A and B are shown apart, each in its own frame.
Chain A
């Protein structure tokens, strides 16, 4: 896995549970020691572990403040002294450290909480104080490990807004499950799957034209991989997904690519379909679940394990009598399928 950050750039790391996202942050922060690898910030070496070199710097000299899911405010210190902890550790006087702490508390709209002990703060308040504490340490690189995950839905938007403000022009890596975090906070997105980078690129590009199944799932899109043909994508098992190529882009036949389409572009039919035969595939329903005011039908085709989704109305689902295990046909409107290179 290789990862580079430009100055002032915020990168979101997305990926399924257990893909190694938090491990990545732990390694950068110096809390976890990998078998091999290297990292540097600017010209400064964090670690180099390979056959020839065993350089490993301890976490306190790295300048990589870590903000975790839990605020982890020191319970014996009030909010102000929690935030002043970083400056104090860097050698500031108590007065200077407190002054800096007040500045950062104001920055996260938490100045009125300065004298409270962590036990007297709500989850959202504690997390904002934790953000101030991380920033007060003046890290060169801020590491955020799902900072919104432990908050209730009312507290998360406020913290997200605070983070958007303070991450502006700051070098940061944010691990998240939430597509909204990626859109609002990150300039660039990295999708990690089973310990390696599956996809990376500017946030909008990755989320609107995903190339990995995980990113497609986050963006709520069906994704089919295969080779590009004049009409669309041909999957390895021979199915053809007709779709729209980018205007002004002429694909090389045989080039690998993907077809992406929203579940709302998929209709469900029983038996054979008459009329347009394009984009009609036999599938087996695996799962039905409410999705907004629609029913999301998940299904897999016999030959490949690739799952596809269709959104239909509850009435249509009831009329068709859909149940898991049923064999049906998915028909995808070719006009709503985007085809692009992988």
Chain B
């Protein structure tokens, strides 16, 4: 049956290369799926150490996501709407963790909050120790996940424009009211998908966490660290836990992509 979609102008050989690209992503997942020890699957992922790692990962990722929202929303707002010297520079630095190797981020965090670090020394005097604690895990994850929220929200703010805010102001709404009742509701879909991406990035964080927080079971050993550790001793457990992370990632992508599609005008009406 012929499709009525009309001429699309894509040469056939392009499909071959595109299929190769798709395979590069899908094939490893299939290979891993083939390696799963299904008989032992449930015991493997419900062992004490696995459950501890999974619980810690979910708790710290949730905390990082909250921190990303608290810090990222103002950042995205001043980057998208504000006008101040050094704005472009600030944007570049905020986006840096996207391209920085996480282990470098971990080292940077260590020299900031570590015992001998820039702030760590003063914090130590105050009796607060951050490095190699659960707080460090949250900080490391926030460090790498923040740009995802900022980029996503800044894009939403820019495409929404500031005309609604201007109207709201002439109707007598003070800036805080405008933010709460107009700006944030307008960019809610962008904020939600940014938060979901941040959560996913936090959940997968490995390098910065290992460097800055170490690998203490129940305290700083998150799921990716547990997988890496198990791989040495118990490959079946590593594969089973990996599958759990894949499932979470698929859910996150589905949630985020589904949201984006539902923000088309026709769906907003409903």
Which A residues are within 8 Å of any B CB, using their own CB? Answer: 29-31, 58-66, 68, 70, 72, 74-76, 85-86, 88-90, 117, 119-120, 133-134, 137, 139, 143
0 or 1 for each of B232-270: is its CB under 8 Å from A? (1 = yes): 000000000000000000000000000000000100110
A30 with B265: CB separation less than 8 A: no
B101 to chain A: which residues have CB within 8 Å? none
Task: Pick from A62, A65, A75, A143: contact of B268, CB below 8 A.
Answer: A75
Task: Report how far A143 CA is from B54 CA in the complex, Å.
Answer: 59
Output the nearest chain B residue to A32 by Cβ-Cβ distance.
B166
Task: Pick from B168, B170, B177, B186: contact of A30, CB below 8 A.
Answer: B170
| Tally of chain B residues near chain A (CB < 8 A) | 22
Interface check B174, CB cutoff 8 A = yes
Output the nearest chain B residue to A130 by Cβ-Cβ distance.
B167
Output the nearest chain A residue to B168 by Cβ-Cβ distance.
A85
Chain A to chain B contacts (Cβ below 8 Å), 17 pairs: A29-B166, A30-B170, A31-B170, A60-B169, A60-B171, A61-B172, A68-B167, A72-B163, A74-B182, A75-B186, A76-B188, A88-B181, A89-B174, A120-B269, A133-B171, A134-B171, A137-B172
Other than A59-B169, A63-B172, A76-B188, give 18 A-B pairs with Cβ distance below 8 A.
Answer: A29-B170, A31-B166, A60-B172, A60-B175, A62-B170, A68-B163, A72-B164, A74-B168, A74-B181, A74-B185, A76-B185, A76-B186, A86-B172, A86-B173, A90-B172, A119-B269, A120-B269, A134-B171
Task: Pick from A59, A88, A117: contact of B170, CB below 8 A.
Answer: A59
Task: Pick from A31, A70, A117: contact of B269, CB below 8 A.
Answer: A117
Output the nearest chain A residue to B172 by Cβ-Cβ distance.
A89
Task: Pick from B164, B166, B265: contact of A59, CB below 8 A.
Answer: B166
The 3 closest A-B pairs by CB, nearest first: A89-B173, A59-B169, A86-B171
B269 to chain A: which residues have CB within 8 Å? 117, 119-120
B182 to chain A: which residues have CB within 8 Å? 74
- Majority-rule SS of B interface residues: helix
B164 CB to nearest chain A CB (Å): 6
- Per the 8 Å Cβ criterion, residues 144-172 of B in contact with A are 163-164, 166-172
Known: A72-B163, A119-B268. A85 touches B171 (CB 8 A): yes
Task: Report how far A61 CA is from B222 CA in the complex, Å.
Answer: 52
A119 to chain B: which residues have CB within 8 Å? 265, 268-269
Task: Report how far A117 CA is from B182 CA in the complex, Å.
Answer: 15
Task: Report how far A139 CA is from B181 CA in the complex, Å.
Answer: 20
Known: A60-B175, A75-B186, A76-B185. A66 touches B268 (CB 8 A): no
Task: Report how far A74 CA is from B178 CA in the complex, Å.
Answer: 11
A39 CB to nearest chain B CB (Å): 14
B164 to chain A: which residues have CB within 8 Å? 72, 74
Output the nearest chain A residue to B166 by Cβ-Cβ distance.
A31
A86 to chain B: which residues have CB within 8 Å? 171-173
B167 with A137: CB separation less than 8 A: no
Greatest chain A CB density within 10 A among B170, B174, B265 is at B170
A30 to chain B: which residues have CB within 8 Å? 169-170
Task: Report how far A64 CA is from B268 CA in the complex, Å.
Answer: 31
0 or 1 for each of B161-205: is its CB under 8 Å from A? (1 = yes): 001101111111111011001100110100000000000000000
Output the nearest chain A residue to B186 by Cβ-Cβ distance.
A76
Task: Report how far A99 CA is from B42 CA in the complex, Å.
Answer: 59
Task: Report how far A139 CA is from B172 CA in the complex, Å.
Answer: 9
B59 CB to nearest chain A CB (Å): 32
Known: A75-B186, A119-B268. A89 touches B170 (CB 8 A): no
A133 to chain B: which residues have CB within 8 Å? 171
Task: Report how far A275 CA is from B166 CA in the complex, Å.
Answer: 64
B169 to chain A: which residues have CB within 8 Å? 30-31, 58-60
B168 to chain A: which residues have CB within 8 Å? 74, 85, 89
B30 CB to nearest chain A CB (Å): 42
Task: Report how far A75 CA is from B177 CA in the complex, Å.
Answer: 16
Greatest chain B CB density within 10 A among A59, A68, A85, A119 is at A59
Output the nearest chain A residue to B267 by Cβ-Cβ distance.
A119
A63 CB to nearest chain B CB (Å): 7
B186 to chain A: which residues have CB within 8 Å? 74-76
A28 CB to nearest chain B CB (Å): 10
B174 to chain A: which residues have CB within 8 Å? 60, 89
Task: Report how far A63 CA is from B171 CA in the complex, Å.
Answer: 7
A89 CB to nearest chain B CB (Å): 4
B181 with A66: CB separation less than 8 A: no
A63 to chain B: which residues have CB within 8 Å? 172
A62 to chain B: which residues have CB within 8 Å? 170
Task: Report how far A58 CA is from B169 CA in the complex, Å.
Answer: 8
B126 CB to nearest chain A CB (Å): 40
B171 to chain A: which residues have CB within 8 Å? 60, 65, 85-86, 89, 133-134, 137
B167 to chain A: which residues have CB within 8 Å? 66, 68, 72
